[in-house]
Amino acid sequence: MILQLGSQHYSPQRIFCIGKNYAEHVKELGGSAPGQPVVFMKPVSCLVPPGETIRIPAHGNNLHHEAEVVVLIGAAGKDILESDAASHIAGLTLGLDLTLRDVQSDMKKKGWPWEISKAFDQSAPLGTWTPHDGTLPLDNIPFQCSVNGVVRQTGNSVEMMFPIPHLVHYLSGIWELMEGDLIFTGTPSGVGPLKSDDRVTLHSDLLGTFEWLLA
């Protein structure tokens, strides 16, 4: 999947995902707030552009939506300072971190890795890009997730426990960030189940509106 931002084209390299980045979401899952970003990854084969049908995977029974602000890295860098993070961001959009909650819970109880609950095919629906030209407020991006016209999640990037510049700084201290890397920045409270024929809509006044149908 090639990502287009204006006249620029990016080949996604890696999908970094941040868990437990909104306090109310941590509470709804019954966990404790982390002292540092919780990081997991998905392969780029998980990406799904707007308008495509998402097929519910057969290896679980409780598929949940998790709406997130997504960052596109446009300039590579290692050990990026928080004060310089914005200059490495090419664009922003909204995405879904689809999660098989029953599979995830079972893997956690066993102490096993839970990629099969998070990194299956089509688990990362992704909107189209809004350029980050310095006018988008990284710390004030409102967004929501609706299912069949009913709002389920409402969030704002100001509520992140680890803001976007800190995430860029933290990740670049472990990996050299590459042009085309994506960062799913975490989900607010209100996650819930999806079923066949559900229509999921992500909306932000700043970033646009994107839809997918479940089958």
CATH of domain 3-214: 3.90.850.10
Q: Where are the domains of the chain?
A: 3-214
Mean pLDDT of the chain: 96
Q: Which amino acid is at 177?
A: L
Q: Tell me: the pLDDT tens digits for 41-67?
A: 999 999 999 999 999 999 999 999 999
Separation CA 95–CA 68 (nearest Å): 5
The pTM of this model reads: 0.96
* Local structure of 133: helix, strand or coil: coil
Residues 103-113: tens digit of each pLDDT: 999 999 999 99
Rg (alpha carbons) of the chain, rounded to whole number: 16
- Mean pLDDT over residues 83-94, rounded? 97
Cβ neighbours around 30 below 10 Å, total: 6
31 has a pLDDT exceeding 80: no
Instruction: Report which of 146, 120, 148 is spatially closest to residue 60, judged by C-alpha positions.
Output: 120
Q: What is the pLDDT of residues 173-182, one digit of tens each?
A: 999 999 999 9
